[in-house]
Amino acid sequence: MDSVEKTQDQQHPQYKRDRASVDTLLAGEATDYNLSELARLIIRYRGFPGARDIQSDLKKVLQKWNHTEETLYEQTRKIHAKGEVYRKQKSDQEDWV
């Protein structure tokens, strides 16, 4: 990566919260909730010009849990079809960023 690319990297507005989530995923197991979070974060950071550490760590979690993006999304579609993974979370804030 050359210096021009580095100067163009952006700070994601959800970086601090997401960094903590990624650290939890790195240390955690492949539960329904964690798989859903992994998929959500991969989608959020796909193509984002920055947060390279998060993008790298998300790939590490995929490998650790023996998934590709395709198999992860296939499994999380089944999880979301049940509709219960986020209902257990007590949060009034929507996280669409």
pLDDT band at 3 (very low <50, low <70, confident <90, very high): very low
3-state secondary structure of 85: coil
- Residue 52's nearest CA partner among 96, 92, 8 is 8
Tell me the per-residue pLDDT of 46-84, one tens digit each, with 9 for 90 and over.
999 999 999 999 999 999 999 999 999 999 999 999 887
In this predicted structure, what is the pLDDT of residue 83?
84
Distance CA 62, CA 66 (A): 6
Distance CA 32, CA 5 (A): 36
Of 88 and 77, the one with more pLDDT: 77
Tell me the per-residue pLDDT of 4-49, one tens digit each, with 9 for 90 and over.
445 588 999 999 999 999 999 999 999 999 999 999 999 999 999 9
**H runs (alpha helix) in the chain:** 3-8, 15-27, 32-45, 52-64, 69-82
Cβ–Cβ under 8 Å, residues 40 and 79: no
Q: What is the pTM of this model?
A: 0.81
Distance CA 93, CA 49 (A): 25
